Chains A and B, each alone.
Chain A
Amino acid sequence: MAPAVGDPALPSAPPPAQRPALRRTGRPTSVPRLSPGVPRASRAIRRRQTVIAYLFLAPTLLFFLVFLVLPLLFAALLALSRWTGFDLSDIRPVGMANFADLFAHGSTFLTPILTNTLLYAFGTVVLALCGALVIAHCVNRLRFRGFWRTLYFLPLVTTVVAVGNVWKYMYEPGGLINGVLNGLGLPSLAFLQDPDTALPSVIVVQAWASTGSAILILTAGLTAIPGVYYEAAELDGAGDRTIFWRITLPLLRPSLLFVCLTQFIAGLQSFALINVMTGDGGPGDATNVAALEMYQQAFRYGDWGIAGAAAFVLFLVIAVITALQLWLFRRKDEEA
């Protein structure tokens, strides 16, 4: 049986007396406990150092408290209350009623809003990841890699409003894309007006806009793969396809995981692009997503309780999907 890490039997493990004190979690504490024999003055110095450390940390902790913890608690409070948004003394607790309303018969939150959100995120990730992988693979074999990376990164530094409006004009009945279709003898398509094409049309734009960051990360990942693997594969007579599937892709997994996670979370939280391109999530509810619905509930309808409950449901969805992705990638790692 292989010795466990930290086993005293291992030659590299220090004797118990020299190891830092362990808490119940088994993790070593950063500051070893002082034995009773340590002079009082030394303890005072240590205490003062701790106080100073916390003082240095205070601005950051305060920032997190004000902008993260308090809003989170307030959102939790709102999710369990009814509030119109005008008067803080008018917050009335309603228990789980908001969650029940969200999933009541006839409510549009589960279908189509949450479904649209998942489709939007999934579609964006698939398109952006596949596109980025192909482009990164090509860019990695080109000269002037920096130039190409910068070129593909440009959509990311453009504001969402500009991107959304440009694509909106291109999708219009007399726009560029329909002009090309007409030029090929094909009839015009009502991209953003037809409920069947509206969501895919926006997904394409989101994927296009987020491909740049994915390319950047994937090219960095590709560069980090040691060349010896490729040399060995070539010596063994492996073809390009085999090298890509058996060497490049497995060794790129950490970068892929990162891209996958961040793009999925961004897709689930997306709001601005849809707001610019289809306004209220139309036609009908064809492009309505959870973040847009939350905004409408809170700021247009004055129903902050429903908005808070929707935010928590979305948070839960994001947490579950993220955990699922992590688990899948880790399992693949273990299999590898």
Chain B
Amino acid sequence: MKRRTFVGRAVGGTAGGITSRLASRMASGLASLMTNGAMARAVASGGALSGLAGCTAPGNEALREGGGGREEEGRGGAGPVTLTVLTHYANEPLKSALQGAVDAWNAGAGMGVGVGPGAGGARADADADAETARRRIQVRTTAVAFPDLLTTYMVRQAAGQEPDILHPYCLWTGQLVRAGVLRPAPPEVARQIRRNYSAAAVAGASVDGTLYGYPTEVQTYCLYYNKRLLHAAGIAGPPRTCEELEDAAYRTARRDRHGNTLVQGFGLSRSDDSTVVGQTLALLAARGGRFLTPDGRRTALGSPAGRAVLDLEHRLIERGAADPGVSLFKAFPAGQVAMAINAGWWTASLRNVMGASYREVGVAPVPGRTADDRGTLATGFLMGVNARSKHPQEAWEFLRWLNAAKVPANGSKAGGAVGKPVHGAGRSWQGQSLVTRMSALQVSVGSMTGRADDMRTLLLELAGATSVDPNLRPFLDALHYAAAEPNGPRAQQTKTLLRKNIEEVWTGRTPVDAALRTLSRQVDQELSRPY
């Protein structure tokens, strides 16, 4: 045993960095598996590694809503603190937009309205104290491509190189919470989020009623249509019901004599999980259906609404109005798709790709059973604090500054992101509209947050001044009625199973009823497995 301890110390003392942290985690991980005396003693001696590395896994008791048990660590020291943010904003313009905000924080930009410790007459002094305290907190961002984001979180967390602030896809919230990665939001932050964000945004950032971070971009799904193609088919406006959508799809679709698609009436694309599942769940929500039961324990797609949506998709493909083999992301900008359902982020992409032809693109709510039915899907991201962060208080402080502090909206497209602080409350100050930095940041890159008031300010009130895309309005309206994507611990698996069964229907390999039965069996079985 002594020999093992010596080896452990030697490793811990010399290797340092990742090696020692990884070793400590392996040692503690193995210790939890060992029950017999000899092995347990061996691992206990290896536990010296853990002590030397100075890191242990946080206990679950530290993860209650309220900030967790490590707040005192962040509060204690007065030395400089560097927070790390790991995000998927690896490409322009998101990368520069976030970096601009982070640079402003690092340079000591003001706290903003209604979030600093100051209130009333003592605000100036308190703000000054907050500024002084905050200048010691620096933020460093690291970005990876979205497909690598979850893997990077996983690898860095296991290796003890975890970031203080995570920026995950809401679909993974349950997975990250169950793995003990995300820290619950402090009560005042949670209250603030529940008060200011749309229900779908709050639901996406919550698991079992507990909030785990600030919702950042929120994507709602709407119907994109090509005005020129609809007009050429003698259709005056976008369809408002599923029947109208189906009729318009058949009338606009065209194929050549070899059966090659020239124009798809309705673009069904199997580019990835999100495209296949997103458009189906948006159609489902518009008809009042849902994928899982409210408790998230069983599938609910076997409803008449679910059957109707899959039947519709199958008919569209079978009768040549849709061709999942054609890339929607190439065909729609090329004017070869009359209608398609996609998220709000696509507007910015289409504007860039299509240039002047973007005038032909219109956006409408997803058609339901009747013209008055409203329903769609909302997906998004959240910014939360790592359960292992040694500076949770500072991390929440930065997130409050970025997501809750209000700054003047007008001035420049990035003005909200880096703007100077203002004192006051409400939606305006000295005649200027106020928004959060995150809202301004998202709108500046053609996206949205789940803060409906900010979005109204940025997209409608200031639209004339900043030429914001009017196609974003239906997405803004959808914030009020959209349903969040299920985000339980097995959300990714169930989403993939849904995608596979939808594709089975699309390809005609499995009839709708059989696919729904298979899906129910597979999803229910997956959801019943312990995580």
Contacts and interface: CB of A to CB of B under 8 A. Distances in A.
Interface stretch (A89-97, A238-246, A313-321): A89-97
Given A84-B179, A173-B260, A280-B499, A106 B504 contact: no
A173 B323 contact: yes
Contacts of A173: 260-261, 323, 325-326
B33 interface: yes
A296 to B, nearest CB: 7
Contacts of A192: 325
B465 interface: no
Given A87-B157, A88-B25, A284 B501 contact: yes
B158 interface: yes
A174 B324 CA distance: 13
Name the residue in A82, A86, A285, A286 with the highest tally of chain B Cβ atoms < 10 Å from its Cβ. Answer: A86
A285 B500 contact: yes
B260 A174 contact: yes
Contacts of A284: 500-501, 503-504, 507, 509-510
Interface string B15-40: 00000001001101111110000000
B525 A188 contact: no
A87 B325 contact: no
A115 to B, nearest CB: 15
Interface stretch (B133-141, B147-155, B230-238, B472-480): B147-155
Nearest to A83: B29
B507 A194 contact: yes
Interface in B22-70: 22, 25-26, 28-33, 56-57
A147 B157 CA distance: 51
A195 B529 contact: no
A252 B156 CA distance: 50
B92 interface: no
A250 interface: no
Interface of chain B: mostly helix, strand, loop or mixed? helix
Nearest to A108: B522
Interface in B193-238: none
Contact of A82 (B158, B270, B521, B530): B530
B175 A302 contact: yes
Nearest to A281: B500
B273 interface: yes
Given A86-B181, A88-B29, A283 B507 contact: yes
Given A84-B178, A85-B154, A93 B33 contact: yes
Interface in A132-189: 172-174, 178, 181-182, 186-188
B372 interface: no
A87 B33 contact: no
Given A89-B28, A173-B326, A283-B270, A299 B150 contact: yes
A58 to B, nearest CB: 16
B105 interface: no
Nearest to B160: A88
B326 to A, nearest CB: 6
B492 interface: yes
B303 interface: no
Interface residues of B, number: 55
A101 B25 contact: no
B29 A188 contact: no
A173 B323 CA distance: 10
B132 interface: no
Given A187-B259, A188-B259, A280-B273, A90 B179 contact: yes
Contacts of B493: 301, 303
Contacts of A107: 525
Contacts of A299: 150-151, 154
A87 B273 contact: no
B499 A87 contact: no
B57 A89 contact: yes
Contacts of B531: 82, 84
B506 interface: yes
A193 B325 contact: yes
Given A86-B179, A173-B261, A187-B258, A195 B509 contact: yes
B529 A101 contact: yes
Contacts of A280: 272-273, 496, 499
A279 interface: yes
Contact of B272 (A87, A174, A186, A279): A279
Contact of B325 (A77, A88, A190): A190
A74 B261 CA distance: 50
Name the residue in B28, B157, B176, B500 with the highest tally of chain A Cβ atoms < 10 Å from its Cβ. Answer: B500
Interface string B515-531: 00010011001000111
Contact of A172 (B57, B272, B325, B503): B325
Contacts of B31: 89
A184 B33 CA distance: 65
A104 interface: yes
Interface string B141-181: 00000000011011001100000000000000001101111
B490 interface: yes
A309 to B, nearest CB: 13
A286 B493 CA distance: 17
A173 B32 CA distance: 54
Contact of A87 (B25, B30, B500, B521): B25
B29 A283 contact: no
Contact of A88 (B153, B158, B178): B158
B260 A193 contact: no
B525 A104 contact: yes
Interface in B247-303: 258-261, 270-273
Q: Which 10 A-B pairs have the closest CB atoms?
A: A88-B29, A193-B325, A88-B25, A84-B179, A89-B28, A86-B179, A283-B503, A86-B157, A284-B504, A85-B154
Given A82-B530, A87-B25, A188-B259, 4 more contacts: A90-B29, A91-B33, A173-B260, A301-B493
14 contacts: A84-B175, A85-B158, A89-B57, A90-B29, A106-B521, A173-B325, A174-B260, A187-B258, A284-B503, A300-B496, A301-B496, A302-B175, A302-B179, A302-B492
